Amino acid sequence: MKFLKLFIVLLVAFSISCEKAEECPRDFLMYGAVSPYQVKYTIGDTIELMIDVEKDVLEKELSKYYDLSSVKMQCLFMIYDLNNTNDILYKVTDYVDGIKEDTLYNQYLHNFSSGSQIVFSSLLYNDGRFKNKIRFIPKDTGLFMLTYGAFLMEDKQYFQGKCNRVDTYLSTRLNKDKDNNIELLNESPNQKFANSMRNPPENFYETKSGFAYRVVE
C-alpha cells in the first residue's frame, strides 16, 4: 500500500514536471477599440466599443497564437465616475442616455445590491472571428473612465494546446499602441482610485482595458 501511494505521488509529480517543461498557454490577449478615439466627447455623441478579432488569439508569454474558437467568452462594460473623492460606484444608467442594443450580441444589464451596474454581452464566434459591439450615448458632463473587455465564461475550457491543471486567463487591450487618455486620471480628485488603476503590480488600467474621457455640453 505504501509503495502504491509513493508510486502515485511520483507519477503526479512527473506529470506536473513534464507539463511545466511543455509550452503551456495560460495568458491570452485580445484587442478592442473605442471609436471615435477622443479625449473629449459632447453629450449626445455616440461612442462605440468593439472587439472584432480572428479565432487565433495571442498568448502573451509564449508569443504564439492559439485557436480559441471552441472557448466560450463574454464581454463586460463598466463606467466609473472620476469627479469626486468618494468611493467610486459604477452605475451605467446614471451616465448613459441609452445603450443602443443589438440583439445579436445578447446584452443585459446586471444590477448589484450596492447600486453598481455592469453590462454583460456575448462575444460571438462566427465565420472565423470573435465579435462584440456596444454603442452608448453619454448624458452627464465630467470626467469618466470605462472598461470594456472579454473574459472566459469558464476557466476549465479545452482548446488545442491547453495543458491540464493550468488555468487560462484572458485580458483585453483597447486601442492598440495608444495610451487611452491615461493622463486624465491625474485630473481626478480621487487620486487613491486613480493610482490603483495605473500603478504596479497589476496596472489595472492597461490589463483590464481602461479608457478615460471627458464629456462636455
Show pLDDT as tens, one digit a residue, over the chain (217 residues): 555 444 444 444 444 444 444 799 999 999 999 999 999 999 999 999 999 999 999 999 999 999 999 999 999 998 988 988 876 767 787 777 767 655 455 677 788 877 778 888 889 899 999 999 888 889 889 999 999 999 887 767 889 999 988 888 899 999 998 999 999 999 999 888 888 888 765 677 777 789 999 999 9
**The pLDDT of residue 18:** 43
Residues 6+ apart with CB under 8 A from 107: 99, 101, 119, 120, 121, 134
Pairing between β-strand 47-54 and β-strand 27-35 as defined by DSSP bridges: antiparallel
Domain boundaries, position 82: 23-216
| 18 assigned to some structural domain | no
- pTM for this prediction: 0.81
| 133 assigned to some structural domain | yes
**Domain tally for the chain?**
1
| 2 assigned to some structural domain | no
| 13 assigned to some structural domain | no
| 8 assigned to some structural domain | no
| 11 assigned to some structural domain | no
| 6 assigned to some structural domain | no
| 12 assigned to some structural domain | no
Pairing between β-strand 210-216 and β-strand 40-42 as defined by DSSP bridges: parallel
